[in-house]
């Protein structure tokens, strides 16, 4: 026990045994002559060794909330994780596929080549006055069974014909069953080096700002791509329901992305549950309005090829699955922001109650969702910009343009995703407020979060 004398009053402060104060700074109020309140900070003279953090509530802050609310959301998240794992095992693709390349003549072999010469003139087999001009391109093969040899391909002049020059790197499609001289066809320009450079620039920018957290975000992005390539796409090609596969795949991506990027803490679990609940609402809305709008999905050449190749894949279900996967990224953004905002509100004002945190978090969410909705709608509009220009040139009314399926599908996609964003804000904010308010202010994990963020610096 120690004796503290302040303003002429001796106060005994136990340091051991029953009723001992925790080893942390204690504030004692006193009154100055002008009756203005002030504080004198005293240390409890802990017997903890110098340089070592004493045990007690500060240690609890580092562990995060341990009340009934965090335990409840942990059980719910665990159950959803088990359901996701079971779904992945049950829907795992067999690897057989649907044989689309055999049915519709898709080419799976492509090889790099370099243009060695280009000449222009009448197309082969046509008279000079027919007006059918072609570009005859000589290509040296850099890969494949004919590596090192030159092949000649002919490209008919059209608005979409590429302007090739000597030295250009291109990609050729190879069909060994084609007639002699026609095994190789122009596929596209070689863009992989440019894309690789841009990807490295993107990674450098993310790491420069986020540091360790940026590295974790890149790892989460890599896992998301692996889930799409290894599970989602092969499972759909295996004949499984695209909607079911998209829901299970999106859930797996949400688990991996959030916990890998933010860490295993109650705030992450709140953001995860907010994401999955909002995603469920998005799936329901997308299913209803896809059916009401009678969206067939046959609005592109790629979709038409899939429809010709097999009857086991529903194009309307593909549209719905695309809406689900497309909405996931925006939902993650909103839910993480809302959960983090509530945690920071409690750190800034430990005495704030649940309703106060909810109202303050909701005000933050309103500002965020207004910009997020705008971004989502403009992103979909930008993707359909060439089509919108075409409709505008025809002089059709706005209603007629919106009624066409290709535009209507983007409208449904944008509005359904936006509604999901709006629903994510109050749900995540309410859940975060409930979790944070269910434990004492010194156990909300704010000190631990600040310590974790300090490592990023």
Q: What is the pLDDT of residue 262?
A: 86
Burial of residue 132, with CB atoms counted within 10 A of its CB: 0-12 exposed, 13-18 middle, 19 or more buried: middle
153-165 mean pLDDT: 86
What mean pLDDT comes out for the span 412-416?
Answer: 85
Backbone angles phi, psi at 88, to 5 degrees: -65, -45
Please return the burial class of 432, using the count of CB atoms within 10 Å of its CB with bins 0-12, 13-18 and 19+.
Answer: buried
pLDDT at 308: 52
Domain with CATH 1.20.1640 in the chain: 68-93+209-456
Beta bridge pairs of residue 154: 136
Which residue spans of the chain are classified as CATH 2.40.50? Answer: 108-190
Is the confidence at residue 226, as pLDDT, over 90? yes
CB 39 within 8 A of CB 27: yes
CATH number of 108-190: 2.40.50
Bigger pLDDT: 302 or 44?
Answer: 302
Length of the chain: 457
Q: What is the pLDDT of residues 253-288, one digit of tens each?
A: 999 999 988 888 888 999 999 999 999 999 999 889
**So what's the pLDDT on residue 309?**
52
Q: Which residues pair with 363 in a beta bridge?
A: none
As a whole number, mean pLDDT of residues 210-223 equals 90
* 363-369 average pLDDT score: 85
User: Which fold would CATH assign to domain 68-93+209-456?
Assistant: Multidrug efflux transporter AcrB transmembrane fold (1.20.1640)
Q: Is pLDDT of 411 > 80? A: yes
Rounded CA separation 9/364 (Å): 47
Of the two residues 429 and 37, the one the predictor is more confident about is 429
Q: Look at residue 43 in the predicted model and tell me its pLDDT.
A: 37
Give pLDDT, residue 310: 57
Give 38's contacts (C-beta < 8 A, 6+ positions apart): 29, 30, 31, 32
């Amino acid at each position: 026990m120690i004796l503290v004398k302040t303003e002429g009053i001796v106060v005994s402060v136990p340091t051991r045994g029953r009723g001992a104060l925790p080893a942390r700074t204690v504030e004692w109020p006193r009154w100055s002559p002008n009756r203005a309140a002030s504080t004198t900070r005293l240390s409890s003279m802990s017997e903890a060794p110098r340089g070592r953090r004493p045990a007690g509530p500060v240690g609890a802050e580092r562990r995060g909330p341990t009340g009934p609310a965090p335990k409840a959301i942990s059980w719910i998240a665990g159950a959803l994780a088990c359901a996701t794992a079971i779904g992945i095992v049950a829907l795992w693709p067999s690897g057989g596929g649907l044989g689309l390349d055999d049915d519709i003549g898709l080419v799976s072999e492509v090889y790099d080549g370099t243009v060695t010469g280009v000449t222009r003139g009448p197309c082969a087999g046509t008279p000079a006055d027919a007006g059918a001009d072609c570009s005859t391109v000589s290509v040296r093969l850099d890969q494949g069974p004919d590596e090192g040899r030159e092949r000649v391909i002919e490209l008919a002049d059209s608005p979409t014909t590429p302007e090739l020059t000597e030295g250009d790197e291109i990609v050729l499609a190879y069909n060994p069953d084609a007639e002699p001289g026609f095994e190789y066809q122009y596929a596209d320009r070689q863009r992989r080096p440019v894309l690789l450079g841009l990807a490295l620039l993107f990674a450098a920018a993310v790491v420069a700002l986020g540091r360790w957290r940026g590295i974790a975000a890149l790892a989460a992005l890599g896992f998301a791509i692996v889930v799409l390539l290894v599970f989602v796409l092969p499972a759909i090609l295996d004949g499984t329901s695209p909607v079911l596969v998209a829901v299970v795949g999106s859930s797996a991506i949400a688990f991996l992305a959030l916990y890998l990027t933010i860490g295993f803490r109650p705030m992450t679990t709140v953001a995860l549950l907010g994401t999955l609940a909002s995603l469920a609402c998005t799936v329901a809305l997308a299913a209803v309005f896809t059916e009401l709008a009678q969206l067939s999905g046959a609005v592109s050449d790629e979709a038409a090829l899939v429809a010709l190749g097999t009857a086991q894949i529903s194009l309307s279900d593909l549209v719905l699955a695309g809406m689900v996967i497309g909405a996931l990224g925006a939902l993650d953004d909103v839910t993480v922001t809302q959960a983090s905002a509530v945690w920071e509100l409690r750190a800034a004002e430990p005495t704030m109650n649940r309703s106060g945190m909810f109202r303050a978090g909701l005000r933050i969410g309103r500002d965020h969702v207004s910009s997020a909705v705008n971004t989502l709608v403009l992103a979909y509009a930008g993707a359909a910009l060439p089509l919108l220009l075409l409709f505008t040139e025809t002089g059709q009314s706005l209603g007629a343009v919106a009624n066409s399926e290709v535009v209507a599908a983007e409208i449904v996609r944008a509005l359904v995703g936006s509604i999901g964003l709006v629903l994510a804000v109050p749900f995540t904010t309410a859940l975060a407020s409930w979790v944070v308010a269910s434990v004492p202010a010194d156990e909300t994990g704010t000190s631990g979060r600040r310590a974790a963020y300090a490592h990023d610096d």
